[in-house]
Amino acid sequence: MTKQRLTHTNKEKLTQLEKSIMKRKAQIHEIEQGLPQQNSRYLKIILGDVNVSILNRNDKIRYKDEYEKFKLILNVIGLLLSFLNIVYNYRALELVFLFLLVWYYCTLTIRESILKVNGSRIKGWWRLHHFISTVCAGVLLVWPQGEPWQLFRTQFMYFNVYISMVQYMQFRYQKGVLYRLKALGERHNMDITIEGFHSWMWRGLKFLFPFLFVGYLFQFYNAFTLYQLTDHPDATWQIPVLSILFLILFVGNSFTTLMVILQKQTERTENRYRLMSLIASKRQKTVRQPTNNEEADTGKGDADSAKSK
């Protein structure tokens, strides 16, 4: 019994110590965010040695909100231009839309790099995704007008209409989930909405899976169509390059999203196992307590009978 009590006490102390360490780490992180940060290599190439650290916390959040508004407004404009390009086949309208894509993704990569310097935790594939999209938009812009472009044009515009609608849904619902998680202290104030699926979206946004995977399959279909166009007599270098880029986007998006799903399923299994272990240990404790009380009562009875003798 003494050993069990000591083990239980040690566990409680260890839990308190872990909580204290996590609290200290969070405090240190908050202090670090208030200090000037060094620019990334990409920002140094684009902006030089200009310091982009935002020291005031409210200004950081305001900058993040401006980033969200920028994405939402450009997404709606992109949707309208894509639809107009489906209805009207004008080269000038196409070029306006393609130039908008190049400018949008270039600006997005710069803004995200500034957000990262100021504490945003955007990382991995989803940052690389925007760099690849920038290159893709640039190649589309310089693709000369001809029969191969006309064969791919309508499909590409439908793809952009669909992607814009899915992204609008994502931004709209992600903002609500992020707001709730930040209020509960489960997410950082500088976390942002972004394409794709992330671990924090598991609660409440699983309905987006079908829409996302249809978009990824559309990317694969674009890659396949472009691959077929490489055999066209008027094919230019842009066609195989775009086919490879769309294939990379399809593989990267699908793999990253599937990894998130597998990770969350593993976490759910582990949490279920922990819960079952906790319930089992509590049951054992409740069974032991009456036994200990009975032993104490028996000992007390023996002592009373000895006194009476």
Is 232 inside any structural domain?
Answer: yes
Nearest 5°: the CA angle 179, 109, 212 is: 60
pLDDT-above-90 percentage for the chain = 37
Is 277 inside any structural domain?
Answer: no
Question: What ranges in the chain are assigned the alpha helix state H?
Answer: 2-33, 41-47, 57-87, 91-117, 125-142, 147-183, 209-229, 238-308
Is 14 inside any structural domain?
Answer: no
Q: Are 97 and 85 in contact (CB under 8 A)?
A: yes
**pLDDT tens digit sequence for 35-68:** 556 666 777 777 777 777 776 777 777 877 788 8
Q: Mean of the pLDDT values across residues 119-123?
A: 71
Whole-model pTM above 0.75?
no
Residue 306: pLDDT over 70: no
**pLDDT tens digit sequence for 141-166:** 999 999 999 999 999 999 999 999 98
CA–CA separation, 102 and 92 (whole Å): 15
Q: Which of 178-192, 194-208, 264-278 has the highest mean pLDDT?
A: 264-278
Is 275 inside any structural domain?
Answer: no
Is 96 inside any structural domain?
Answer: yes
Nearest 5°: the CA angle 262, 263, 267 is: 115
**pLDDT tens digit sequence for 268-302:** 666 566 666 666 666 666 666 555 555 555 555 55
In terms of Cα–Cα distance, which of 258, 249, 250 is closest to 197?
A: 258
Q: Which residue has the higher pLDDT, 38 or 233?
A: 233
Q: Which of 16-20, 128-132, 196-200 has the highest mean pLDDT?
A: 128-132
Q: Which of 46-55, 233-242, 253-262 has the highest mean pLDDT?
A: 233-242
Number of domains in the chain: 1
Is 71 inside any structural domain?
Answer: yes
Is 26 inside any structural domain?
Answer: no
CA-based R_g, the chain, Å = 29
Q: Is 112 exposed, middle or buried (0-12, 13-18, 19+ CB in 10 A)?
A: buried
Q: What is the pLDDT of residue 48?
A: 74
**Mean confidence (pLDDT) of the chain:** 77
Q: What is the pLDDT of residue 300?
A: 52
| Residue 211 belongs to domain spanning | 35-270
Is 109 inside any structural domain?
Answer: yes
Residue 9: pLDDT over 90: no
